[in-house]
Amino acid sequence: MRDLKSGLKKANHHIAKRLHIKGLVQGVGFRPFIYRLAHAHGIFGWVENRNDGVVVKVEGAPDQLEHFIADISNKAPLASNIQDIRVELAAAEGFDEFVIVKSENTSEQITDVSPDIAVCEDCLLDLKKQSHRINYPFINCTNCGPRFSIIQDLPYDRDKTTMEPFRMCDTCRNEYEDVMDRRFHAQPVACSTCGPQYELVIENERITDFNIILEKVVALLKSGQIVAIKGIGGFQIACDAQNEEAVNMLRQRKFREGKPFAVMFADIDAVKDFTVLYSEEKKSLLSWRRPIVILREKEKLASGVSNGFHTIGAMLPYMPFHYLLFEKLGLPAIVLTSGNISDEPIVIDNTVAEEMLSQIADAVLIYNREIYNRTDDSVAMVVNNKERILRRSRGYSPEPVNLNLDVEGIVAAGAELVNCFCIGKGKQAILSQHIGDLKNLETLEFYEEAYHRFLKLFRVKPEIIVHDLHPDYLSTRFAKVQKLKLVGVQHHHAHVASCMAEHNLDEQVIGVSLDGTGFGTDRHIWGSEIFICDLAGYERYNHFEYVPLPGGDRVTKEPWRTGLSYLYMVYGHDFWDLDIPFVKTLDKAKCEYILEAIDKKINSPMSCSAGRLFDAVSAIMNICTITQFHAEAPMRLEDLASGTVEAAYPFEFGEVISFQPTIRDIVQDLLDGVPLEEISARFHNTVMNAVFAVVSLARTQRDISKVVLTGGTFQNRFLLSRLEKLLESVGFMVYTQNKIPSNDGGIALGQLAIAAKLRSIGKTYQKSQIVNH
């Protein structure tokens, strides 16, 4: 490489500068962009990829270099994300041309790894006009295509991806080596001659002709059949979203009794036909990240798609195959759900797919390129005109969060549900893709595999591992066998710290963390925490009133138990006299046994969880007494709430926040026949008012105006939207999670930030730092 650089020398009197560009600058067409920019400005030198970024050396007149450097930021490729450009004067060497030189692996520093990118408009045009890529379903260029899902190591070159077995034909090689071509150094570049191919497995037949494959898949879907399709980050399962029988069959075969299915629409016009679509939601749908976006339903698909909810999880095509399919399908939408059984990780292996998914699907569509890094579809919603990520995976991971803290050598194990782990590199926190619920062997194996791959890929040598205080979480157990220095962090403090880290806050805030469960330092179940805290520690300022949860964890699947417990707390045994549907449906003998267990404190842990309060109200209103999936009861309660209701119920607060008056008034409204939509809205407004009252008092007493809202309960759009606006209207600076999930999928970021802060000030995380109000 040095010989090449030296050979470019030409004596002149121009100044020289060396640029080191960090951020997401590999796999996004950055080097050819620099090359073309240098030619446009008439300057000479070289550009190279290194594992710690892109390095450029340029020579030219001072004004030329100034404009060139400005244009790097102003005109950078769409999917790139420049975090830093370090510019320094260098010795002039007299270059007489500008070239791209071979990648160098120079240190343990790394550059960002690009997430997978939806197919671009240029490639969709090429799909119909390039003779060697006519309808070729793996078309891509430097601006689009698979990235993270195929990357095995850095720097990002073809031989370090799962494209390595596919030897480029002469035509692709010429494009790959032509710096003025859009496919210059596009590592997954391929065509119908030399690239990956699809194969359809149907009964005992294996079809390899792509045109026939397309016709067969179209025919299967149109006739109400189910097809498993290998996507970018794993297999997905498809059927006609308007066919009731097909959707119900899929739900039955997949053992997905209640959870809504995601839907892929043919185009944005089809989305508009079936949903209420606002500009920010449209922007998210059409972005290169292509998440599933939760939208309000306008026209119904098959009833089994949303299963009683008035929302649709919508996405648009992002692979060439999707476009080719809809072109021939003639349907406005298909169900496209994760290719797995129940709660296991999404399938990525062809052989496993043929064995396992053939139990669900009538045909399995595979291709012969390996998926190295599994990624589910990401999920987002838009609240108050901001995109909020609910599940962070394809299109987002492993993009880092840039911090003001040194997190080098720290790793965070995350929580139990919707797990993501996080690793620290320099001042970057790198969150894993969505792992899932660590409650079965398959998901735990995926977690461990991804953890070790991240350490290798990002050159991390861990010294400290952070874990939740819950001793039985599998993530905690994993952390404790790693032979690293351990830091245990309280669950809700980690939630608040996650939001603080996303916004680079490092000061005292009022932290509001509402969720379903978290291990408290008093050995009770927390989940309604209002903290005065910073990254180093917290004071528990207030919380909801404790209530026993009869049956322990069983309450998450049987919300009627929590509803029973709240009624018993408020009315005693007199609740049996309440003439409401919920009480009438209870098995009195069974319930008396449960009430005795509550009185004797047998398997009835105390909880102040916001999630369990929502469960209880949902049950008491007889909306959801038995759940079929996680958080169903609060979700159905929210879905019912009327957006026009401003009224609320009374509550009490002092040492704790009590909703006993709320429960009494809800019961009275049920007796009076008030519509459930109104009752739900009033309840949501009551929770909002309770949080607002306590946070307002905290501001008065502590002179803090920055408030953080986090935790899984803030996935509730009704609550988040109204509370955020209310707080801002009286001068609070409100911080919410946008790019990182507010649920447990974001908790590892907070764990990492807390450990980094403690290390920087030389303190340990001790219970003595925690003060109960």
* Among 344, 232, 329, 206, CA closest to 290: 232
Burial 407-441 (b: 16+ CB within 10 A, else e): bbbbbbbbbbbbbbbbbbbbbbbbbbbbbbbbeee
Q: What residues contact residue 317 under an 8 Å CB cut-off, 6+ apart?
A: 118, 119, 264, 266, 267, 323, 325, 326
Q: Using CA atoms, how far apart are residues 420 and 148, in angstroms rounded to an integer?
A: 16
Query: Distance between CA atoms of 137 and 196, rounded to whole angstroms?
Result: 9
Contact (CB, 8 A) for 755 and 412: yes
Q: How far apart (Å, rounded) are the C-alpha atoms in residues 130 and 361?
A: 34
CB 376 within 8 A of CB 394: yes
Helices (H), 166-278: 170-177, 210-222, 244-253, 268-274
Residue-level pLDDT at 766:
60
d(CA 90, CA 257): 65
Predicted local confidence at residue 136, as pLDDT: 98
Q: What digits encode the pLDDT tens for the residues 111-124?
A: 678 999 999 999 99
Are β-strands 53-60 and 198-202 bridged in parallel, bridged antiparallel, or unpaired? unpaired
Question: Residue 105: what pLDDT?
Answer: 62
| Number of neighbours of residue 131 by Cβ within 10 angstroms | 8
d(CA 85, CA 480): 39
The answer to whether the beta carbons of residues 382 and 284 sit under 8 Å apart is: yes
What is the pTM (predicted TM-score) of this model?
0.93
Q: Residue 489, Cβ neighbours under 10 Å: how many?
A: 24
Which portions of the chain are predicted below pLDDT 50? 1-12, 767-773
- Least Cα distance to 234 among 122, 319, 331 occurs for 319
Question: Based on the number of CB atoms within 10 Å of its own CB, is 464 exposed (0-12), middle (13-18) or buried (19 or more)?
Answer: buried
Residue length of the chain: 773
**Torsion sign over Cα 169, 171, 172, 174:** positive
Q: E strands along 508-616, which residues?
A: 509-519, 525-533, 538-542, 547-548, 606-607
Q: Is 472 exposed, middle or buried (0-12, 13-18, 19+ CB in 10 A)?
A: exposed
Tokens of 108: 């343990």
Name, in order, each residue with C-beta under 8 angstroms of 599's C-beta and a sequence gap of 6 or more: none
How far apart CA 53 and CA 36 sit, in angstroms, is: 18
Q: Which helix (H) or strand (E) holds 100?
A: strand 98-100
SS3 assignment, position 116: coil
The token duo for 699 is 């501001």
Q: Which of 536, 586, 518 is nearest to 558 (CA)?
A: 586
**CB of 156 within 8 A of CB of 183?**
no
Reading the block at residue 532, the tokens are 């005065």
Contact of 410 with 466, CB cutoff 8 Å: yes
> What residue has token string 């790959």?
176
The enclosing H or E element of 726 equals helix 717-729
- Which pLDDT value is given to residue 204? 84
Q: At what angle do helices 676-702 and 632-640 cross, to 10 degrees?
A: 100
Q: How far apart are the first and last CA of the chain?
A: 64
Give the helix/strand (H/E) hosting 262: strand 262-265
Predicted local distance difference test score (pLDDT) of residue 764: 86
The pLDDT score that the predictor gives to residue 31 is 85
CB atoms within 10 A of CB 2: 7
